[in-house]
C-alpha cells in the first residue's frame, strides 16, 4: 500500500479529478495548502508597486492505493496536472503501514 | 512606564479640561447678547417657491456629499488589511461624529461668522442668537459635510498604525481650526478671496479648501508616523502591502464618484444657476479622464492594467476638477482630469521613493491633485461664469485672454494651503507624539489594530486571519 501526495495547481484540480474517474482508487482527500518550490514564490503588484508572494495557494491531494495501481495513478495525475510552466507542483509516494476502515474494523488491503 | 502613563493621563486630562473650558466660554459669549435678533428667521418665513427650490437643491446635494463618507470608508478599508478594517471603520465614523459637533460649536463661527481682518470669523458660536436662522443652518450644514470630507481624507494616510486616541484629537483640531480657517480665507470673505489679482483666489467646490487641506494634513501625519512594518525591505526597497478587498475599494470609488455630483454642482449654492448642468458634465468627464490616464500610465510603466491605479486615477480626476468645474469647458475638464491621473501616479512614486508610506494614496490623490485643481482655474477659466454668480465679473484664465493675474492668485492660494495645512498638521501630530506617542506598539501593529484598540476583529467568522 502506498500513499500518493500530489501538490498541484488549484486551477488544475477539476482536470485531475476528472482524469482519475474510472481508475481504481478508494477515495481521496483534498486540502488547500500554501507553499513554494524552487522558484521561491512569485511577484504580484498593488497600486503600481510590486510585492513577493512567497507562499502560493496549491491543492494537496492524498490518495492511498495498492502498490500495483501506483504507476497508473502517477502517469494520470502527471498528465492532467501539467501545464509545462513553473509551479506545476510535485507528487510524493509514501509507504503505508496499516489501514483501518472505521465502520467495520477491516484491516489493510481489504480496507482500501 | 509609570511616568509615561502619568504623562499621558495628564495630557488627556489637559486636553479635555481645555475643551470643556472653551465650551463654557463659548456658551457664555454666545448667549451674552441673547434674545433672538430681528434678522434671524428660525421659522422659515421666507419660504417662497423660488427659495424652496434652492433649499431643496442644496440639501439634496449636501446629503450626497455626506454619503461620500462611506465612499471614503470603503476605499480606505479595501486598500488596507483585514486586521485593521474595524479600526478603520471606527475612525471614519468618529471623524464625522466629532466633526458634526465641533463644526457646529466653533468651526462655522470661525469660518463664516463675519470677518476679522481677513483672518477668521468671530460670531455664531453654537449657532446661537442671530445664527439660529434657516439660512445660517443651511450654510452650516453645507460647510459641515465638506469639513467631514476634509477630515476623513487623512484616515487613509495614517491607517494601520495611528492610535485611535490620536485620531480623535486630530479630528477635533482639523474640524475646529485647520479646515475653518483656510475655508474662511477663500470662502468666508477672508484675505485670499480679496487678493487684488483677477477676482481674488477662487476654489469653486474645494480642490484646495477641502482636498488639499486634507491631503497635506495627511502628508504631515504620514511623515510623523513613519512607514508601516514591511513597507520597505532591509535594503530600503519599497514593497507593496496589498489591501484586503479590491471589491470594497471599487465600491467606494463608485460611491465617491456619485457623491461628487452633489459636491460640485451643489456648490453653486443656488438651484437657479443652470450652470449646474455644465458642472455635472465637467465633473464626470474629469473622473473618466483621470481613470483612463492613470490606467494607461500604469500599463505602460508596469505592464499591468493596475486596478488600484485606475481607482485612484478616477478620484484624482474628480479632485482636480473640483476647483475649476464651474468655470471651464468640457474639453478642458478632460485635460484637467488626464493631467490629474498622471500627476497622481507620479506623486505616488515620488512619495514612495522618499520613504513616505501612504497606505491608500490620499496625499497623491487629494494633496497633489488638489493643488493642480487650484492652478488649473488660472489656465482654463473661460469667462462664462462669475464668482458663484451668473453675473460679471466672470472668471477668465490665461488661455482665454485673462492674462496671468488669476493664475497668480491661484498660485498664492496653492502656496498658502500647503504651508497652512502641512504646518498645522505637522504641529498637531508632533505635539501629540511628544505628549503620548501617536503610534501603536509594534506588537499591536503586527496583530492589527482591531483587537487591541476595539476588542473585536472586523470579520470574526468570515476570513481566516493569517498568523
% residues pLDDT > 90 (chain B): 88
Pairing of strands A42-46, B382-386: unpaired
CA distance B422 to B218: 8
Which residues in chain B have Cβ-Cβ distances shorter than 8 Å to A44? 242
Residue A49, chain B, CB below 8 Å: the answer is yes
Contact A62, A94 (CB under 8 A): no
User: Is the pLDDT confidence value at B37 over 60?
Assistant: no
SS3 B384: strand
pLDDT-derived band of residue B172, with 50, 70 and 90 as boundaries?
very high
Residue with cell 502591502: B241
How much is the pLDDT for B15? 65
SS3 A32: strand
Q: Angle at the Cα of B38 (from B35 to B40), degrees rounded to 5?
A: 85
| Residues A70-102: b if buried by 16+ CB within 10 A, e if exposed | beebeebbbebbeeeeeeebeeeeeeeeebeee
- Phi and psi at A61, nearest 5°, equal -105, 135
DSSP code of residue B372: H
pLDDT-derived band of residue B34, with 50, 70 and 90 as boundaries?
very low
Provide mean pLDDT across the span A47-52: 90
Nine-digit cell at B113? 461668522
Rg (CA), chain A: 17
Mind listing the pLDDT tens digit for each residue in B60-73? 999 999 999 999 99
CA distance B221 to B158: 6
Provide mean pLDDT across the span B424-445: 97
Residue A98, chain B, CB below 8 Å: the answer is no
Nine-digit cell at B277? 448642468
CA distance B461 to B467: 15
Mind listing the pLDDT tens digit for each residue in A16-40? 999 998 887 878 999 999 999 887 8
Q: How far is B454 from chain A (nearest CA, A)?
A: 28
How much is the pLDDT for B36? 47
Mutate to test the interface with A, among B78, B229, B242 (most CBs of A within 10 A): B242
Q: Supply the ipTM of this predicted assembly.
A: 0.74
How much is the pLDDT for B21? 75
Mutate to test the interface with B, among A48, A50, A54, A55 (most CBs of B within 10 A): A48
Nine-digit cell at B297? 500610465
How much is the pLDDT for B467? 41
Which residues in chain A have Cβ-Cβ distances shorter than 8 Å to B302? 45, 48, 50
> Between residues 215 and 274 of chain B, which touch chain A (CB distance below 8 Å)?
238-243
Mind listing the pLDDT tens digit for each residue in B321-374? 999 999 999 999 999 999 999 999 999 999 999 999 999 999 999 999 999 999
Chain B residue with Cα closest to A46: B242
Judging by beta carbons within 10 Å of its beta carbon (0-12, 13-18, 19+), is residue B299 exposed, middle or buried? middle
Residue A51, chain B, CB below 8 Å: the answer is yes
Mind listing the pLDDT tens digit for each residue in A58-94? 999 999 999 999 999 999 999 999 999 988 999 999 9
- If one counts every other C-beta atom within 10 angstroms of the C-beta of residue B17, the result is 10
Strand residues in chain A grouped as ranges (E): 2-9, 29-35, 42-46, 49-53, 56-65, 89-95
pTM for this one?
Answer: 0.88
Which residues in chain B have Cβ-Cβ distances shorter than 8 Å to A49? 238-240, 352
How much is the pLDDT for B35? 46
| Residues B63-90: b if buried by 16+ CB within 10 A, e if exposed | ebbbebbbbbbbbbbbbbbbbbbbbbbb
Which residues in chain B have Cβ-Cβ distances shorter than 8 Å to A46? 240-243, 308
Mind listing the pLDDT tens digit for each residue in B96-114? 999 999 999 999 999 999 9
Q: What's the Cα-to-Cα distance from B394 to each of B107, B209, B411, rounded to whole Å?
A: 30, 21, 19
Amino acid at each position: 500500500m502506498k500513499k500518493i501526495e500530489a501538490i498541484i495547481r488549484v486551477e488544475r484540480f477539476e482536470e485531475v479529478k476528472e482524469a482519475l474517474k474510472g481508475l481504481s482508487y478508494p477515495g481521496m482527500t483534498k486540502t488547500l495548502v500554501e507553499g513554494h518550490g524552487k522558484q521561491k514564490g512569485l511577484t504580484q503588484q498593488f497600486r503600481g508597486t510590486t510585492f513577493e508572494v512567497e507562499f502560493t495557494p496549491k491543492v494537496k491531494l492524498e490518495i492511498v492505493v495498492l502498490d500495483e495501481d501506483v504507476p497508473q495513478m502517477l502517469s494520470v495525475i502527471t498528465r492532467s496536472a501539467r501545464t509545462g510552466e513553473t509551479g506545476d507542483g510535485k507528487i510524493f509516494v509514501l509507504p503505508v503501514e496499516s489501514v483501518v476502515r472505521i465502520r467495520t474494523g477491516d484491516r489493510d488491503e481489504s480496507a482500501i | 512606564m509609570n511616568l509615561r502613563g502619568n504623562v499621558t493621563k495628564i495630557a488627556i486630562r489637559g486636553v479635555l479640561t481645555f475643551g470643556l473650558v472653551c465650551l463654557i466660554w463659548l456658551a457664555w459669549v454666545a448667549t451674552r447678547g441673547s434674545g433672538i435678533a430681528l434678522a434671524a428667521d428660525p421659522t422659515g418665513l421666507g419660504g417662497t417657491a423660488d427659495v424652496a427650490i434652492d433649499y431643496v437643491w442644496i440639501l439634496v446635494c449636501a446629503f450626497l456629499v455626506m454619503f461620500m463618507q462611506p465612499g471614503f470608508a470603503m476605499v480606505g478599508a479595501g486598500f488596507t488589511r483585514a486586521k485593521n478594517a474595524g479600526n478603520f471603520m471606527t475612525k471614519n465614523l468618529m471623524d464625522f461624529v466629532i466633526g458634526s459637533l465641533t463644526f457646529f460649536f466653533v468651526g462655522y463661527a470661525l469660518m463664516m461668522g463675519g470677518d476679522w481682518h481677513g483672518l477668521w470669523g468671530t460670531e455664531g458660536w453654537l449657532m446661537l442668537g442671530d445664527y439660529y436662522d434657516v439660512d445660517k443652518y443651511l450654510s452650516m450644514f453645507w460647510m459641515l459635510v465638506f469639513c467631514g470630507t476634509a477630515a476623513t481624507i487623512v484616515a487613509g494616510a495614517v491607517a494601520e498604525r495611528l492610535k485611535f486616541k490620536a485620531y480623535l484629537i486630530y479630528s477635533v483640531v482639523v474640524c475646529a481650526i485647520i479646515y475653518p480657517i483656510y475655508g474662511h480665507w477663500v470662502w468666508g470673505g477672508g484675505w485670499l478671496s480679496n487678493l487684488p489679482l483677477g477676482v481674488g483666489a477662487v476654489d469653486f467646490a474645494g480642490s484646495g479648501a477641502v482636498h488639499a487641506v486634507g491631503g497635506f494634513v495627511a502628508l504631515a501625519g504620514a511623515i510623523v508616523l513613519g512607514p508601516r512594518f514591511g513597507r520597505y525591505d532591509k535594503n530600503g526597497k519599497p514593497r507593496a502591502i496589498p489591501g484586503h478587498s479590491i471589491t470594497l475599494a471599487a465600491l467606494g470609488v463608485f460611491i465617491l464618484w456619485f457623491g461628487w455630483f452633489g459636491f460640485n454642482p451643489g456648490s453653486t449654492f443656488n438651484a437657479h444657476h443652470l450652470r449646474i448642468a455644465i458642472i455635472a458634465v465637467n465633473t464626470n468627464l474629469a473622473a473618466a479622464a483621470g481613470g483612463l490616464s492613470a490606467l494607461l500610465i500604469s500599463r505602460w510603466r508596469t505592464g499591468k492594467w493596475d486596478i488600484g491605479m485606475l481607482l485612484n486615477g478616477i478620484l484624482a480626476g474628480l479632485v482636480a476638477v473640483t476647483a475649476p468645474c464651474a468655470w471651464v469647458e468640457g474639453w478642458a475638464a478632460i485635460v484637467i482630469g488626464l493631467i490629474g491621473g498622471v500627476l497622481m501616479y507620479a506623486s505616488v512614486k515620488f512619495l514612495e521613493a522618499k520613504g513616505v508610506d501612504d497606505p491608500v494614496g490620499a496625499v497623491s490623490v487629494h494633496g497633489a491633485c488638489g493643488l493642480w485643481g487650484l492652478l488649473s482655474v488660472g489656465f482654463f477659466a473661460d469667462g462664462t461664469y462669475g464668482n458663484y454668480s451668473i453675473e460679471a465679473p466672470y472668471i477668465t484664465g490665461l488661455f482665454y485672454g485673462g492674462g496671468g493675474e488669476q493664475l497668480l492668485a491661484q498660485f498664492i492660494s496653492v502656496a498658502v494651503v500647503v504651508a497652512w495645512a502641512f504646518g498645522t498638521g505637522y504641529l498637531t501630530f508632533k505635539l501629540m507624539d511628544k505628549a503620548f506617542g501617536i503610534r501603536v506598539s509594534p506588537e499591536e501593529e503586527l496583530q492589527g489594530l482591531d483587537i487591541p484598540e476595539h476588542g473585536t476583529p472586523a470579520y470574526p467568522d468570515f476570513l481566516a486571519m493569517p498568523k
